[in-house]
Amino acid sequence: MDCKKPVVLQDEQQTLPFDQMKSEAFNIIHQRRSANYEPNIWKCDFLESLDSIYDEPECKKRAEKLIEDVRSIIFGKAVELDSLAKTLELIDSLEKLGLAIHFEVEIKEALATIAISIKQKNGNLNGEDDLYATALCFKLLRQHGYDVSQDMFSNFMDAKKGAFIRKCKHENIKGMLELLEASHLALEGENFLDVAREFSTTTLEETLPNLDGFLAKLVIHALELPSQKRVQWFDVKWHISVKEKHRDMNAILLELAKLNFNIVQATLQKDLRELSRWWRNLGLRENLTFARDRLVESFVCSVGLACEPQHSCFRKWLTKAINFILIIDDVYDVYGILEELELFTIAVNMWDVSETKMLPECMQICFLALYNTTDDFVNEIQREKGWDQLLPVHVKKVWTDFCNALYVEAKWYATGYTPSLEEYLSNAWISSSGSVLFAHAFFCLEQKVMKAEEYENFMEKSKDLLYNISVIVRLCNDLGTSSAEVERGDAPSSIVCYMREKNVSEEMARKYIKGMIDESWKKLNGECLTQMPMQLKQTFVNIARVVEGLYHQGDGFGVQDGDKRNKIKSLLLEPLSC
């Protein structure tokens, strides 16, 4: 069956082969839908021509020299001053400028020393009434896995009223900013931090009209989306542009930040060139024109999970996985008829290409491509890391679970059934694709090759982490795409389910879903305090961060508007002037 367009008979006398006549009749009876996705704007010829002067050895040598300068001059100076605020500010700046990876040992030692000091002082920060230093310290320690108490803020609370003391609010904008940031690292039941978020948000909104350009930018940025919900690497350029206009910015640190960004960007361009050749040779976009052709956007997501140059292999495989997630989602949501989707789901469950022979050609091609790409992934990871038969079993399982969940949603659509929100989420956390991303990240990044029982133990301990990440992925997706899905008559989203279940307006339903996302973040923050390798932990949480940014202002995959295009150009194509 030709998936590009329905067969059109130009002449009533024209005779067609029996199979094609059946195909035509099938399409008339079962009208296929269209999501009307815009054509891809990123052409393979362009992507494969990308090149950067910052891939040269001289640039990397200069960066290494600057790293040593920062280590000996700037970092050493901050520690010698024995100023807690200066040390915290330096760590915060290194992270915001994308440089923390080069100073992991120094950062770890500094934060460990601070954490011990706070513990010895019963959770207080030198007994100081310094909101800025306290909030910054709390934020950094929580982000690095330290279980510090919300009681650090007790000096700033009116115990009787259960509210923050409204003193110096106009003079302490930096403190309010960090308090807002810290509040987004709250755990379940941390009422101090709930009050802190409301108080800091209101204060910053009230004072925003009176702020100058530098502070106003910082406030707007934090109010739009806090750092805990942002991918750090996506923000590096923004922070460089803000900091280079600040008179206190260190010139060596600024030069290193710019050069480091350009060197990483050069590596990302190499990755994208290779992926573009793979995508072109795969030939799926010519055969599945109903589906989203979004290689570059998929690659950006993989960059959001792990941007470091040494993780090219991870980005390559994750980009391929995300590409298939989009395509298969469109097979179930847009193209496939329920009878076909049942056969497709059976083929995935049996992991057998021969089970697709009764399907349209494009669906056969789709499964074959998934089958071969997954086989390539398993073989490469087994070869490089030594995983045994545990790897293919669990990689196939996440794809099976994903397709089974999509099939449930397809049945709901076909029968006109709207589930309760609880029933919806019991399936939607799996159809969110969080498990697929989680598995690919784990097998690519985990250094230790585990036995079957060790892996099962790890997954059991991580089930709440995976669930909360997946819920955030699904609900953020729903907030960004629900309006378009309702317009074209897709299966009900969480918003529609809640509206019908509770008989409330869309506005009320959106507010409720946003509250659910906030609660999932609190649970996720708690999971991040458990023992797990930092690289894995950050990568898993970055799944949620990528999706928060992707759907913050609409559909991050379906729509390729000017704003999204410019952000991608800035991240992947346009180096900073050094």
pLDDT digits (tens, 9 = 90+) for 42-62: 999 999 999 999 999 999 999
Q: Residue 262's pLDDT is what?
A: 98
Q: Which two tokens stand for residue 374?
A: 């997954």
Structure confidence by residue, pLDDT tens digits, 307-320: 999 999 999 999 99
- Residue 488: band (very low, low, confident or very high) from pLDDT cuts 50, 70, 90: low
Q: Which two tokens stand for residue 173?
A: 């904008």
pLDDT at 82 over 70: no
Nearest CA to 33 out of 331, 342, 432 is that of 331
Higher pLDDT, 364 or 447: 364
Q: Global pTM?
A: 0.91
- Residue 170: band (very low, low, confident or very high) from pLDDT cuts 50, 70, 90: very low
Structural domain spans, the chain: 57-257, 283-558
Q: Residue 85's pLDDT is what?
A: 83
- Residue 126: band (very low, low, confident or very high) from pLDDT cuts 50, 70, 90: low
* CATH 1.20.1440.130 describes domain 57-257: no
Q: Residue 544's pLDDT is what?
A: 97
Contact 435, 466 (CB under 8 A): yes
Structure confidence by residue, pLDDT tens digits, 242-259: 988 877 788 999 999 999
Q: Residue 11's pLDDT is what?
A: 33
Structure confidence by residue, pLDDT tens digits, 20-35: 433 443 443 356 777 6
Q: Which two tokens stand for residue 67?
A: 């790293």
- Number of helices followed by number of strands (H, E) in the chain: 26, 2
HSE-CB at 312 with a 13 A cutoff on CA atoms is 14
Give strand pairing partners of 163. 158
pLDDT at 17 over 50: no
Measured distance between the N- and C-terminal CA atoms of the chain, rounded to whole angstroms: 54
**Which of left, alpha, beta for 2 (phi over 0: left; psi -120 to 50: alpha)?**
beta
CATH superfamily for 283-558 is: Farnesyl Diphosphate Synthase (1.10.600.10)
What is the Cα–Cα distance from 510 to 495, expressed in whole angstroms?
6
In this prediction, what percent of the chain has a pLDDT beyond 90? 68
